[in-house]
Amino acid sequence: MATLFKEKFQKSKFATISSSDDFSASRVFKGKQRLPHSLQRGAQSAWFDKTKIEEDKITKLEGKFFYVPIKKSNFVSMMDTYLSDRSNMSPQAYAQISASFFGKMSSMGNDDLVGIMAEDGAPPTASYSPSPRTGISPYTTTITDTSTLSTGATWSFAGGNGEYYQNEFTSSHQVHFILSASVSSSTVTGSGISNERGKINTASYSNLFDGEGSGLGMSLLKMKALGDGEITDSNKFFFTETKEFLIFPHGLSGSVGSSSLKHATLAQNVVGSSLITVYHSGSSPNFGLENAKSGSHLFLSEDLRVTASHGWYAANGSSTVYQVPDVSNLYAAKRFNGNSGSV
């Protein structure tokens, strides 16, 4: 058996690795969006330029080890750019290093292929931070990708009503939500995105509001972070996170209800607390006493974009308190759940 480079990589010409029957059992070809994190965003990304590679010939062996082909002329150009851009290198050092480095390739033709070696690393973790997650139609949310070790993502709205893709890591993009009596859709904008159209789901909850429209719009947006690994690697290929978005009908603008309520995290502390102004759809809050799902969502801003805190709320002078429970990060806002008590 041939000796391996770093006990991992084959010491063979790229043409052999990419076409020989000796490697056919474990060989697969990959698109450039599946290049490992180390090349795209990690330690090797400082000098690697994927626009210069032969992207139709990227080879992967044993489900882990990459051999990325690049013409000698492009490789020299790529490395020369990297070396010449290093501010801590003197002209003399640059001349010496480049002459030694490129001299070893002098016997190769400009179109001969050099194989760049890399391997899959740890899988990604998926997380994203959208702001805002609630608002009156139309509104735009900015989605910031906070995933680690991610090299791309797919995004899908619940119910199969639209999916869009990022074939490389994209730090942020925007989703524009629209909801009215006749329109229910979202438009996605940002760099690196394909299939830019998606639709949101609408649901007619029983928490009524003043104004026109068909009901409160709700959408679940699922992110699948792409990174190193294969689908068969114990599901390491996809890591997911799902979050809810709320879209209140356009007719609410200018007619959002507000209330002055006392609030505290613990029910027994409500009476001694100060009044705060909270906003809600409808002229008065629905405490969810008949149906927990009908309880009003509470906000600290009239545009319904800043959510109120969980805890207990009461009208001034009242001994009856109503609960707004804490909820998981899945949910966009907190709402009354029908629990009440006396203090």
Average pLDDT over residues 122-149: 91
Is 9 part of a structural domain of the chain? no
Residue 147 has what pLDDT?
Answer: 93
Tokens of 296: 């009003």
114 and 23 inside one domain: yes
Residue 160 burial class via C-beta count within 10 angstroms: exposed 0-12, middle 13-18, buried 19 and up: exposed
pLDDT at 261 over 50: yes
Residue 211 has what pLDDT?
Answer: 33
Average pLDDT across the chain, whole number: 83
By three-state DSSP, how is residue 57 classified? helix
pLDDT at 335 over 60: yes
Q: What percent of the chain has pLDDT over 70?
A: 83
CATH code of the domain containing 150: 2.60.40
Residue 204 has what pLDDT?
Answer: 34
Would the pTM of this model clear 0.95, i.e. be above it? no
261 and 245 inside one domain: no
Q: What percent of the chain has pLDDT over 90?
A: 48
146 and 245 inside one domain: yes
136 and 198 inside one domain: yes
User: Looking at 222, 252, 282, which one is the last position of a domain?
Assistant: 252
Q: 242 to each of 31, 145, 157, 311, how far by Cα in Å? A: 27, 13, 9, 24
Total domain count, the chain: 3
User: Looking at 119, 148, 173, which one is the last position of a domain?
Assistant: 119
Tell me how far apart the alpha carbons of residues 159 and 268 are, in angstroms, rounded to a whole number. Answer: 42
104 and 52 inside one domain: yes
Residue 254 has what pLDDT?
Answer: 67
Residue 52 has what pLDDT?
Answer: 96
Is 266 part of a structural domain of the chain? yes
pLDDT digits (tens, 9 = 90+) for 1-57: 467 888 899 989 999 999 999 999 999 999 888 899 999 999 999 999 999 999 999
Is 102 part of a structural domain of the chain? yes
Mean pLDDT check: name the lowest of 12-16, 229-233, 317-321.
229-233
Residue 137 has what pLDDT?
Answer: 81
Residue 99 has what pLDDT?
Answer: 86
Is 2 part of a structural domain of the chain? no
> Is 199:221 a contact under the CB 8 Å cutoff?
no
296 and 211 inside one domain: no
How would residue 303 be classed by pLDDT, with cut points 50, 70 and 90? very high
How would residue 175 be classed by pLDDT, with cut points 50, 70 and 90? confident
22 and 48 inside one domain: yes
**130 or 202: which carries more pLDDT confidence?**
130
73 and 165 inside one domain: no
Which residues, 6+ apart, have CB-to-CB distance to 27 below 8 Å?
17, 18, 59, 60, 61
User: Looking at 99, 119, 139, which one is the last position of a domain?
Assistant: 119
Residue 189 has what pLDDT?
Answer: 59
Is 5 part of a structural domain of the chain? no
Residue 85 has what pLDDT?
Answer: 81
Is 194 part of a structural domain of the chain? yes
63 and 115 inside one domain: yes
Tell me how far apart the alpha carbons of residues 295 and 26 are, in angstroms, rounded to a whole number. Answer: 57
Q: In what order do the strands lie in the sheet with 59-61?
A: 28-29, 59-61, 65-71, 113-119
Q: Which residues form the domain of 151?
A: 128-252
pLDDT at 203 over 60: no
Average pLDDT over residues 126-145: 91
How would residue 234 be classed by pLDDT, with cut points 50, 70 and 90? low
pLDDT at 212 over 60: no
Residue 237 has what pLDDT?
Answer: 55
Is 225 part of a structural domain of the chain? yes
Residue 41 has what pLDDT?
Answer: 94
**172 or 230: which carries more pLDDT confidence?**
172
66 and 146 inside one domain: no
Is 8 part of a structural domain of the chain? no
How would residue 100 be classed by pLDDT, with cut points 50, 70 and 90? confident
Residue 186 has what pLDDT?
Answer: 58
Average pLDDT over residues 208-232: 68
34 and 141 inside one domain: no
**13 or 156: which carries more pLDDT confidence?**
13
**284 or 239: which carries more pLDDT confidence?**
284
275 and 240 inside one domain: no
Residue 91 has what pLDDT?
Answer: 83
Tokens of 252: 């609410």
Tell me how far apart the alpha carbons of residues 95 and 83 are, in angstroms, rounded to a whole number. Answer: 10
